[in-house]
A and B are shown apart, each in its own frame.
Chain A
Amino acid sequence: DIQMTQSPSTLSASVGDRVTITCRASHSISWWLAWYQHKPGKAPTLLIYKASTLESGVPSRFSGSGSGTEFTLTISSLQPDDFATYYCLQYTSYSQYTFGQGTKVQIK
């Protein structure tokens, strides 16, 4: 099974900051990685898929990069609406999906 290690687990930042979250895979997953934003009580929302493709309607301050085993989600200028928990998801087959442990972005 492919394991996903996400870091940091918690991140304190201010509005306007550049924020970077990392996910590492235990084996190469090519570019089959997605990023999600989740707020309490709400449905998770897709930000990025295929490592770097921005989902329609997602603000351009979100970007994804990486391939193989190391991936990053970057928020170029943190906005008040961005305080949430972020998860990565690897989807390298039709029967194996693994999430990272999550990164909570909180107000500094």
Chain B
Amino acid sequence: QVQLVQSGAEVKRPGASVKVSCEASGYTFANYAIHWMRQAPGQRPEWMGWINAGDGNVKHSLNFQGRLALTRDTSASTAYMELSRLMSEDTAVYYCARSTLSTLTYWHLDLWGRGTLVTVSS
């Protein structure tokens, strides 16, 4: 079954870091990119960045420069999103999603995880 399975909900203090995982199954992990989005309560989804699951190349949204680390473990078919220096405004559901790596087209997101709730509270 082709799917992305995300890790469970997290509660963090302001200033801490959070690491969310996204395990892929049912397809060749290294042939795709994994994107990360978040959706704060009542807000539209926001794109954060992507990682090429094959070569590890990354691209971040400028909104997260310096706080966001995207990594992957090809042996585990798992991508990771780590966000540091958390603030209350980072409270959101975080999603991973897959896209092609084709150079012939721009990349839509064709498979999503169910999301991981991250709550930042003192």
Contacts and interface: CB of A to CB of B under 8 A. Distances in A.
A101 B44 contact: yes
A91 B107 contact: yes
Given A87-B44, A94-B59, A99-B45, A43 B114 contact: yes
Interface string B106-118: 1111111111000
A34 B107 CA distance: 10
B80 interface: no
B4 A43 contact: yes
A98 B46 CA distance: 7
B109 to A, nearest CB: 7
B44 A49 contact: no
A28 to B, nearest CB: 14
Interface residues of B, number: 23
B95 A102 contact: no
Contact of B46 (A49, A50, A93, A99): A99
B113 A49 contact: no
Given A87-B44, A87-B45, A95-B59, A42 B114 contact: yes
Nearest to B110: A46
Contact of B44 (A42, A46, A55, A100): A100
24 contacts: A32-B106, A32-B108, A34-B109, A36-B109, A43-B111, A43-B114, A43-B115, A44-B95, A44-B112, A49-B108, A50-B108, A87-B44, A89-B45, A89-B108, A89-B109, A91-B106, A94-B50, A95-B59, A97-B35, A97-B47, A99-B44, A99-B47, A100-B44, A102-B44
Interface of B: 4, 35, 37, 44-47, 50, 59, 61, 95, 97, 105-115
Interface of A: 32, 34, 36, 41-46, 49-50, 55, 87, 89, 91-102
